[in-house]
Amino acid sequence: MLRNIPNDYTRQMLLELLDTEGFNKDYNFVYIPMDFKRQAGLGYAFVNLIGHSEAERFMAHFEGFSRWKFSSNKICEAAWGTPLQGLNQHIERYRNSPLMHADVPDEFKPILLQDGERIPFPEPSRRIKPPRVKLQCSGSSPQPEVTDAFEPGYVR
């Protein structure tokens, strides 16, 4: 898990950073939680490395990292992800999540990779509910606003 990444970092920017910093083909899952309203990251990301030695090298490299693509005062913290550890747990956590609903833009979804190339996420094992929507009244008719796609009870 990476904490304290710039909120304006997109998933694509993070992928480019990971590759540029020498981790191409060393990770197989990436997800940056997003604020759908602002269309910006929440300042952290989940990255699953393919092995323990890669994960240790990754954590040592990104702890204290601050060479972002654009000017930012944020200093990265690298930590073991909790409560999820390992690719299978990430897949099971997200495959049936509202994040994977067709209404959610692709750039907001977690992705899987193999040998540095994106691969399809496993099909859901049940019907995916659409993201929760909060209605905001502006004028005469309420306007739907996607607030987030986190499932109730999920602790990060």
What pLDDT score does 133 carry?
56
Region for residue 151 given its phi and psi (left: phi exceeds 0; alpha: psi -120 to 50; beta: otherwise): beta
The CA-atom distances, in angstroms, between 107 and each of 10, 54, 70 are: 8, 25, 20
What pLDDT score does 148 carry?
43
pLDDT, tens digit, 9 for 90 and up, residues 109-124: 999 999 999 999 999 9
Mean pLDDT throughout 127-150?
55
Mean pLDDT throughout 52-65?
97
Average pLDDT, the chain: 86
Has residue 145 got a pLDDT over 80?
no
Virtual torsion, Cα 7, 75, 83, 113, nearest 10 deg: 70
